[in-house]
Structure 1
Amino acid sequence: MRKILPPWSVLLLHFVASAALASEREKLSVRPILISEHPDDETHRIYVKGQVVTTLRFDRPVEPENTKMIGWEGRLEPLSVVRNKVILEPLHDLNADEAIPLVVRLVDGTEVPFLLRPPGRDEWARTDQQVDIFEDQESHAALRAALTQALKRNGALTEENERYRKEETSEDHALAALLASGAVAQTPFMIADHFSGKDDDAEVDATVFQGKGKAAVVFTVKNLHAENAWSVQRVRLVTKDSSHDRAIAVRATAREITSGGSGRVALVADGSAFVDDGMLTSLWLELYRHDGLRQAFVQLDPALIAR
């Protein structure tokens, strides 16, 4: 059994976490914005991330001399305009409360205001890599982009609803909910190991459980950040040798842990997850927090399911 977050490995974990973000950056994120003429409509947000290029693509040329950001110095590279495109590149991540105004002037005199913001925590506020902006809402390109976006969201919601339906009747999710609530005595698990560690933003205690045909891990997280909330972005369970993804049930006591607060994240893996090509294998359990960094990892051995 390998320990997570021992003091000597905190820095290594952050280096590994940064590398893990590369695959996320390679996924192209494109979304459309239809410009409304209604004066009460909210200024559109553009979600930017440090050292990731964001391109705003308009349906007509942009005037470079009248396209400006306010208070960008030290936060972004100078913007550049190439015909109908505005190119932005933050030097580093913006703070959660930062908002940088941007006004783009088109050749027809139209001025379009935006706010540059760090990515939000919900699914629709991911980092923007390309934003297609349409002033003519009735154009073929605008209508096609809006339809594509609507179909994508509908498909994602359908998948999410199906996942929730399956989780309602899942034994593993029920066990994870009991573990997260602290009702260990109501589960078939026994403690196999316990260890802890911390970095600048969080202190993590982890308890590994063994059971007949199942294994579990409970993370107790204390948020040490002075301002930002802590939450789980994603969890990965992969085979140690072949890196094949495995299913895992996840339950948490809260969606977010506020500054100074604590919460639990419980995870349950079925014994079938340990089988790879007919052989028992060890698994890596990885916990990624809200900013994409890998907060913790645990090696789970097949012996955990043999009780």
Structure 2
Amino acid sequence: MPQRTISVRLVREMRNFLPPRSTLLLALLASTVMAHGREVNVRSAYISGRSSEGVDRLYVAPGAATLLRFQQPCDSAGTKMLGWEGRFEPVGCTGKSVVIVPLVRLEPEDRFLLVVRLADGTQVPFTLSGANREDARPPDQQVNIFLEPDTRETLQEQLENARAREEGLLDDVRRFYREDTPDHALAKLVASGAIQQTPFRLFKKRIIKSEGEETTVRIYKGKAKAAVLFTVKNNDPSKPWNLLEARLVTIRPGQDPEPYVFGDKKPFALRADRDEIAPGESGNVAVVVDRSAFTAENGSAELLLEIYREDGWRQAYVVLDERLTRE
């Protein structure tokens, strides 16, 4: 992932709002800690014939380079893209790889023609368009290109991909059954704004302003459970906001949660009211935590709840205390 310089804006009004050294809620703030373990979107494309008969579509987005890998070297002189000026960096062609780097967001209806010429003279065309989450198409980060689908190497690749897709479907089924719980039902109600239908009572509310977003954080108390609602307003004029992941880990009392924390992971229920937040719109991410999550070997523990946006940067965090579950 390319390095970025992000301005950090901390929100520390909470320390003045709470009693000194309160452990009920230590801080709310936006930060720029990189999320670990993010998966890379890799797929394979099988193109029949050795001419322009097969045209594969590539989905690209700014901030994510797309790498094409071929079975033979490419010819940089014969690799061209039409109308790329101002919207892409010059297409890079090195060895068996072609690198595409968008500079601006493309709309799903935008189309750009890329023709890659290989060392043996074969020309492989591609159509480039903007990634569209509504069509469940994230940006391509690596695409392995196979021009002879009947070779042993290609058939082996197809078999491995089929097995990976099957395992992915099984994971989805397992996740569905894991998330069919009362806590997930409560989280769905919180995310939809139906807080009056839950046992939770508002405890604290804070607004976090950062570059491109404004996040309102509401912390709720409840009997044997606590809840947190993140309402994100996307102020970016063109880029949608997407949730990458949420984390809930234990921390030591008084520990500074600003760096990336490596604590014991704890279970929680999460629901969002939409897959992505369009520019100018707002969306909710709700988390419900059971009292049992605060249990540690030496008694009760404080918990750090974090949410990360799609580019891997931490959007906000909350430090929670077990007393939130004592309604």
TM range (shorter): 0.7 to 0.9
Cross-structure match for 1:254? 274
How much identity, in percent, do the aligned residues show?
A: 36
How far apart, in 1, do the equivalents of 2:79 and 2:223 lie? 64
2:296 to 259, 271, 276: 276
Cross-structure match for 2:9? none
CA contact (8 A) 2:116 2:125 kept: yes
Cross-structure match for 2:323? 303
Number of aligned residues? 289
1:79 to 85, 92, 98: 92
Cross-structure match for 1:243? 263
How far apart, in 2, do the equivalents of 1:49 and 1:224 lie? 17
2:71 to 59, 69, 85: 59
Secondary structure, counterpart of 2:203 in structure 1: strand
What are structure 2's unaligned runs of at least 5 residues?
Answer: 1-24, 253-261
Call closer, same or farther: CA 1:124–1:192 in 2, change over 3 Å. Answer: same
Secondary structure, counterpart of 2:174 in structure 1: helix
Cross-structure match for 2:205? 194
Once the 2 structures are TM-superposed, how far is the Cα of residue 137 of structure 1 from its aligned partner?
A: 0.1
Cross-structure match for 2:105? 95
Amino acid aligned to 1:2: L
Once the 2 structures are TM-superposed, how far is the Cα of residue 81 of structure 1 from its aligned partner?
A: 2.3
Q: Answer yes or no: is 1:43 the counterpart of 2:53.
A: no
Cross-structure match for 1:109? 121
Cross-structure match for 1:267? 287
Secondary structure, counterpart of 1:177 in structure 2: helix
Secondary structure, counterpart of 2:74 in structure 1: coil
Secondary structure, counterpart of 2:178 in structure 1: helix
How far apart, in 1, do the equivalents of 2:94 and 2:171 lie? 39
Cross-structure match for 1:286? 306
Once the 2 structures are TM-superposed, how far is the Cα of residue 120 of structure 1 from its aligned partner?
A: 5.2
Q: Which moved more, 1:234-243 or 1:70-79?
A: 70-79
CA contact (8 A) 1:4 1:296 kept: yes
1:147-186 aligned at under 5 Å gives the runs 147-168=159-180, 170-186=181-197
Call closer, same or farther: CA 1:81–1:227 in 2, change over 3 Å. Answer: closer
Once the 2 structures are TM-superposed, how far is the Cα of residue 216 of structure 1 from its aligned partner?
A: 0.7
Q: Which moved more, 1:116-125 or 1:220-229?
A: 116-125
Q: Answer yes or no: is 1:215 the counterpart of 2:226.
A: yes
1:234 to 245, 258, 262: 245
How far apart, in 2, do the equivalents of 1:88 and 1:149 lie? 23
Superposition RMSD on alpha carbons, in Å?
A: 3.0
Call closer, same or farther: CA 1:45–1:108 in 2, change over 3 Å. Answer: same
- Of Structure 1 and Structure 2, the greater helix share is in 1
How far apart, in 1, do the equivalents of 2:305 and 2:45 lie? 38
Cross-structure match for 2:151? 139
How far apart, in 1, do the equivalents of 2:103 and 2:270 lie? 28
TM-score (norm 1): 0.80
Q: Structure 1: which 4+ aligned runs deviate by more than 6 Å? A: none
CA contact (8 A) 1:231 1:256 kept: yes
What CA deviation, in whole Å up to 9, does each residue of 1:87-117 have, x standing for no partner?
4263x75424376543211233321123456
TM-score (norm 2): 0.76
CA contact (8 A) 2:80 2:91 kept: no
Secondary structure, counterpart of 2:179 in structure 1: helix
What CA deviation, in whole Å up to 9, does each residue of 1:225-251 have, x standing for no partner?
223333322212122254222222112
Secondary structure, counterpart of 1:159 in structure 2: helix
Once the 2 structures are TM-superposed, how far is the Cα of residue 267 of structure 1 from its aligned partner?
A: 0.9
